[in-house]
Structure formats: C-alpha cells, structure tokens
Structure 1
Amino acid sequence: MRVSVIGAGLGGLCLAQGLRGAGIEAKVFERDAEITARFQGYRLMLNPVGFDALRGCLPRRWHPLLDAVVGDAHGERLILDPRLNRIGELEPGRDAIVVDRDVLRHLLLTGLTVHTGAALTGYDVLADGRVEARFAGRDPAVADLLVGADGVNSAVRSVLSPRTIPTDTGVRFVIGRTPLTEQFTGLSRAFGSKIAGDGVSLLLGAMRFRTPPREAAEALAPEVTLPDIHDYVRWAMILPPNGSLGTETPQEAALSRMPGWHPDLCALIEQSDPDNSTLLSIRVVEPGQRWTPGPVTLLGDAIHATSPTGGNGANTALRDADLLRRALTTTPTLVDAVDDYERHMFDYGAEAVRLSLGALPAYTPQNQQ
C-alpha cells in the first residue's frame, strides 16, 4: 500500500510515522517552500488520549526521548487583574503533558520522505481505484490512499467536501514566546491563569522541559536532531472582536493595551522573541455530512478545526492519526478501513469542535462574552 499525506503538520507527520512503522509507504507533500517557513514556536497541551496516540505512532526506541523533552502542566488557573491580584477562578484543569510544537515536529519529521514546495491543485480517482494527486510545478503522485492533513484551508477538503468551510469566530489574538528567566519565575501563579484587562485577556503558559531537547536527543537518540531551545513562557493576548495589529508589531500591539499593568507582565512582552510572535485568528471547521468512503479522506484541522481554548486541536489530530493507522493495518480492505476511521472520527471530531467553542467565552475579554 502507498499513502500520500498532504500537509506536514503534526497530524499528517504522526500518521506517516505510524504507517512507516507498520511497513506502509507514506510520502508527505507540504506546500511551504521549507519546513521552517512558518511560525511554529509555541507549546501544546496533550491529554492522555492525545499523548497515547502519539506514542502509538512513534517507534518504541523514541519513547524515552519523547518522555524526556515534554513538561508537566501545572498552575492554579485563576482569573487575575493586570496587577496580578486574584479576582476569580477558571474551571479546574485536566491532566496534561506540555510539549513544544517545533520540537515535536522535528521529532516526527525524522526519517520521513517530505516533499516541500508541493501545493496541491487537485486530484483524480483513477479507474483502478488509486488516486493521482496534482501539484503546482511538480510531477503528480499516485497512491492507494490520499489523506488531506492540510489544515483549515485544506485543498483536499475543497474537492472532497466543498460545502464544509471554515467559520471565523471573529476572535483574534497575538501570540509570543519569552525565555523563562529568573525574572519571570515570580509569575508562576499566572501560568495557566487568565489576566483580565480592559478589553483584552492575557493567557500565560510555561514550557519547562524535563531535559533540554537537543541534549536529550544527543543522549537518547543520536539519529534525531532537535532544536536547541530552553524553557520559555508562551503568552497569548486575546484582542477585542476582529482586532488587528495595524502597523504595529505583535509586541507593540500587546504593550499598547497594557498601560498600568504589572511591570513583570510588561517586561515579559518586551523581552519576547520577535521571530516567534504573530497575530492569529480563531477559525473552526465543523464536520458536515459524510461523503461516500473511498481512497480519499481527511485528518485534523482539515475536517475538525477547533478553537485553541478547548485545548483539544492537536490531541484530536493525533487521535485521528493513530486511529487511521490502526484501521489501515488491521482492516481487510482499504475502503472498509477508511469507513471505520471516518465513522468514529466524525463523532469525536464534532464533539471536540463543540467543546472548544463552549470554552471560548471563559478566555475572551468581558466585553466579548
């Protein structure tokens, strides 16, 4: 069996690793000119289901490395004012492991065949049941299964399920990353909490590696090259509805909304890494009516993009990857395997979107609720 995976995000790469471990040929096609072309530097929270799915797709020899480069989620989950005074509480957090997205992506890329600069323009199901994927400026690729893991703007979905389109929630946020120095250890009660300002909310999360990633790879899996990154604070400021940066940088946009805030919070933004700061929008994709199962399917944000406030986007994509891997390696026919995968994925994917939207108001500024 040959599988073409469109998109080199976490879900697509996780699937490719799982298939590779099962002896199934999987090639990944990424539209970006380079793997590092876009912003990747923020932490993710993996729940037990997502973490187990990830481990299920990785070679066992890498499990010690994975365990070494993650961190533990903790925090009081409070609502604080801009001077860090407690004014309320969020819902209790769930058990989770934190992981840096860029570190995880480099681990998942190891040993895979990834074609960059491969923008999908369409596909055709051939007479023999295989799928020919077409790309701009490169030769087509033929496989037994085509998997669209190409995100919210999925080119595969636009053909397979053209009525399934993203919905813009109107919520915008600035995200950034700042080295976790001794100066910011005093902000620990704000990690996992919401800081409620005038028309904005600031969310902080600490990424503390059990072992620095590059050091861990050199010791535990020399064939893996991981980024040379150290502990940091991930911050995200949710802006007023349909907010924009204008001509400001992400840091300037955040700081302009923080007059009178605690000096450590202002310093956190001032000292952030400009290469890992950007403005993002929150869009969701809700699974619609199922298509007839066949040699083309979707995975991750391509079919069930969630709001990040639900903490389940990456978890659901990794769950997809492991479920599809297991279906393809245990079900007698490809169509039956895809059918079994899609039946389950549509159910929990729709639930993940619903839960993420339900959690959104708790994190947005008061005047957005």
Structure 2
Amino acid sequence: MRVSIAGAGLGGLCLAQGLRGAGIDVDVYERDPAITARFQGYRLMLSPVGYEALQGCLPQRWHPLLDAIVGDAYGAGLILDSQLNQVGQLGPGRTGIVIDRHVLRHLLLTGLTVHTGAALTGYDVLDDGKVETRFAHGGSATADLLVGADGVTSAVRAVLSPQTTPTDTGVRFVIGRTPLTERFAGLSWAAGSKIAGDGGNLLLGAMRFRTPPMEAAQELAPEVTLPDVRDYVRWAMVLPSGGSLGATTPQEAALSRMEGWHPDLQALVEQADPDNSTLLSIRVVEPRERWAPGPVTLLGDAIHATSPTGGNGANTALRDADLLRRCLIEAAEGRQDLLGAVGDYERQMFGYGAEAVQHSLDALPAIISKPVSA
C-alpha cells in the first residue's frame, strides 16, 4: 500500500509517522517552498485523547523524548482588568499538557519524505482504483490513497467535497510570543485568563518546557534534531469583528489597544519576537455531507477546522491521524479492504469532528465578549 498525504501540518505528519512505523509507504507533499517558509510555533494544549493519539503514531523509542519536551499547564480561568485585578471568572481553570508546535513539527518531520513546493492542483481516480495527484510544478504522484491534510483552504477538499467551504467567524487575533524572562515570570498566575480592557481582550499562556527541547533530543534520541526553543509567554489580542492590521505591525496593532494598561502587559507585547507575531483570522469548516466512497479522504482542518478558543483543533487532527493509521493497518494486513477501512475512519471522524467544531464555537463568545472598563 502507498499513501500520499497533501499537507505537512501536524495531522498529516502525525499520520505519516504512524504509517511509516507500520511499514506502509507514505509520501508527504507540501505546497510551501520550504519546511521553514512559515513560522508555526505557538504552544498547544494537548488533551489526554490528543496526547495518546500522538503517542500512538510515534515510535515507542521517542516516547521518553516526547514526555521531556512538553510542559505542564495550569489555567486560572479568571477575568482580569487591564491592571491585573480580578473582575470575574471565565469558568473552571484548564489543566493539562502543553507543547510547542514548532518543536513538535520538527519531531514529526524526522525520517519522513516531504516534497516541498508541491502545490496540489487536482487529482484523478484511475481505472484500477488508484489515485493520481497533480501538482503545479507539472509533476504527479500515484498512490492507493490520497489524504487531504492541507488545512482550511484544502485543495483536496475543493475537488472531493466542493460544497464544504470555510466560514469566516469575523474574529481576528493578533498573536505573538515573548521570552519568559524574570520580569514576566510574575504573569504566570494569569495564564489561561482573559485580560479585558477598553481596547480589547488579551489572552495569556505560558510555555515552560520540562527539559529544553534541543538538550532533550541530544540526550534521549540523538537521531532527532530539535530547535533550541526556550520558555516563553504566548499572548493573543482579540480584535473587533473583521479587524485588520492596516499599515501597522501585529505588535503595534496590539499595543495601540493597550494605552494605560499595566506596564508588565505593555512590556510583554513590546518585547515579543517581531518575526513570530502575526494576525490570524478565525475560520471554521463544519463536516456535513459525506462524499462518495473512494481512495481520497480528508483529515484535520481540511474537514473540521475549529476556532482556537475550544482548544481542540490540533487534538482532533491528531485523533484523526491515529484513527486513520489504525484503519489503514487493518487494510494493509488484509483484515478489510481499503475502501471499507477509509469508510470506517470517515464515519467516526465526521461524528467527533462536528462535535469539536461546535464546542469551539460555543466557547468563542466568552473570549470575544465586550470588555469591562479598566
């Protein structure tokens, strides 16, 4: 069996690792010109389901490394004013495991064949049941299964399920990361809280590694090369509906809404890495009508993109990867045919994927609600 995966995001790479570990031939095709063409390095909260799915797709020898490079998260779940005084409660604080997306992506890339600059333009199902994928550079690839793990703007979904399209929530975030220096260590108690000021809402989250990733890899898995990332604070400023940056930088856009805020909060944004700050538009994709059975399927944001406020986008993609891995292993071992295995995956994925999207939308109002006066 040979599998082609479109998209080198976390879900696609996780699936590729799981298939590689099972002896199934797999190639990943990424439209970006290089793996490092875009920064993808904010922290993620992993649920028990997401963490177990990730472990299931990784070689067991890497499990100690994975345990070493995560962090322990505690979310206070408070509503604070711009001077860091408590004025309300978001709800029960969230606890769990956090991991840096940039670090995790490097772990997942280890040992895989990833073809960059391979923008998918379409595919054809051949007479023998295989699928031929076409790329903008003129090349093609033939496999038994094509998996579209190519995100919200999925080129695979555009062909497979053109009626499934993204919905723009209108919500915009400016998001960035700032080294966790001694000055900002005192803000850790506010992680998982909403800081509400007249100009907007600011969300904080700390990434503290159990062991610095590069050092952990050198000690526990020398065949893995991880970036030298240190502890940081992830912050996100919620902009008004449909907001844009205009001519300003992401940091300037956030700071323009923080006049008179606590000096530590202003300094947090001022001292952020400008290369790692960006504007994000929040779009969702809701899985609705199933497509006709065939040798093409979808995974992750390509079929169930969630708002980040639910904290389950990456977890659901990892769950997809592990479920599809297990279904394809059954097909490879002859316990069922390929289309039956893909069908089993899709039936389950549509159910929990729709629930994940709805959960994220239900959580959105609490984050974007009108801020209190400082």
Shorter-normalised TM-score: what interval? over 0.9
TM-score (norm 1): 0.98
Contact 2:75 2:95 (8 Å CA) reproduced: no
| Structure 2 counterpart of 1:338 | 342
SS in 2 for 1:366: coil
Rounded to whole Å, the distance in 2 between the matches of 1:181 and 1:292 is: 53
5+ long unaligned stretches in structure 2: none
Query: Contact 2:74–2:94 (CA<8 Å) still a contact in 1?
Result: no
Deviation at 1:199, TM superposition (A): 4.2
Return the letter of the residue paired with 1:38.
Answer: R
Structure 1 residue 44 corresponds to structure 2 residue 44: yes
Q: Kindly report the root-mean-square deviation, in angstroms, between the aligned alpha carbons of the 2 structures.
A: 1.0
CA distance in 2, matches of 1:34, 1:307: 27
Q: Secondary structure at the match of 1:164?
A: coil
CA distance in structure 2 between the partners assigned to 1:199 and 1:292 by the alignment: 48
Aligned ranges 1:129-208 → 2 under 5 Å: 129-208=129-208
Corresponding letter in the other structure for 1:293: P
1:356 aligns with 2:360: yes
1:39 CA displacement: 2.1
Corresponding letter in the other structure for 1:194: K
Asked whether the equivalents of residues 177 and 232 of structure 2 are also in contact (C-alpha less than 8 Å), the reply is yes
Q: CA deviation at 1:95?
A: 4.1
Secondary structure of the structure 1 residue equivalent to 2:52: helix
Q: Is the CA contact (8 Å cut-off) linking 1:196 and 1:365 kept in structure 2?
A: no
Q: What is the rounded CA distance, in whole Å, between the counterparts of 1:196 and 1:24 in structure 2? A: 50
Match for 1:50: what amino acid? G
Aligned equivalents of 1:307 and 1:174: distance in 2? 14
Q: Distance in 2 between matches of 1:3 and 1:21?
A: 13
The alpha-carbon deviation at position 337 of structure 1 amounts to: 0.3
2:172/2:240 contact within 8 Å kept:
yes
Residue 268 of structure 2 aligns with an amino acid whose one-letter code is: L
SS in 2 for 1:96: strand
Give distance in 2, aligned partners of 1:330 and 1:355: 31
Structure 2 residue 223 is the aligned partner of structure 1 residue 223:
yes
1:232: how far off? 0.1
**Equivalent position amino acid for 1:282 in 2:** I
Structure 1: stretches of 5+ with no match in the other structure: none
Match of 1:63 in 2: 63
The residue type equivalent to 1:285 in the other structure is V
1:46-74 deviations in Å (ceiling 9; x for gaps) = 00000000000000000000000000111
Distance in 2, Cα, partners of 1:170 & 1:206: 26
What one-letter code is carried by the residue in structure 2 that aligns with 1:129?
A: G
Whole-angstrom distance in 1 between the partners of 2:225 and 2:185:
29
Paired residue secondary structure (1:73): strand
Q: Which whole-Å deviations, capped at 9, do the CAs of 1:83-125 have from their partners, x for residues lacking one?
A: 0000011121344210000000000000000000000000000
**Contact 2:196–2:371 (CA under 8 A) maintained in structure 1:** no
Which consecutive aligned stretches of 4+ in structure 1 deviate over 4 angstroms post-superposition?
none
Matching residue's letter, 1:201:
N
Q: Deviations over 1:127-168 (max 9, x none)?
A: 000000000114200000000000000000000000000000
Residue 41 of structure 1: how far off its partner (Å) = 1.5
- Structure 2 counterparts to residues 1-369 of structure 1, below 5 A: 1-331=1-331, 332-366=336-370
Amino acid at match of 1:349: G
For the residues of structure 1 that align with 2:93 and 2:291, how far apart are their CA atoms?
A: 36
Residue 261 of structure 1 aligns with an amino acid whose one-letter code is: W
| TM-score normalised per structure 2 | 0.97
Identity of aligned residues (%): 78
Would you say the 8 A contact 2:68–2:210 is kept in 1?
yes
Matched letter for residue 349 of structure 2 = M
* Deviation of 1:32 (Å): 0.1
How far the C-alpha of 1:197 sits from its partner, in A, is 1.2
